[in-house]
Structure 1
Amino acid sequence: MTKEEQALVEAYKKGMADACSVLLETIRAKQIENVADLLPSLAYTEKQSGNYTIH
């Protein structure tokens, strides 16, 4: 399992299934290799929905 996949698993365990789905689709669409590149996507998701908190 890659670091990105592990991060998605951990986020899912914390009840962030919707955010994980967004990030997973981002990875698939853009073939992102660096998990840091995902942070803008997560921040965007949080801003749009108001349901997610980045720790």
Structure 2
Amino acid sequence: MTIEARIRELGNRHRSLDETIQRERIRPSVDSLQLRELKTRKLKLKEQITSLEARTG
């Protein structure tokens, strides 16, 4: 897998997590622990994307 393909894959996962976070926020009974975990996973994906982009540019 090329770096560009990996960046796209991570970007898709990042967007998917963002959508999940948005859905969780509007739920009547938000699980703050789960929401924090989702945000942490999203941040780690963003860091991976940024790291890979730095290697290609």
Q: Specify the TM-score bucket, using the shorter chain as the normaliser.
A: 0.3 to 0.5
Higher relative contact order (CA 8 A, sep 6+): 2
Calculate the TM-score normalised by the size of structure 2. 0.38
Normalization by structure 1: what TM-score?
0.39
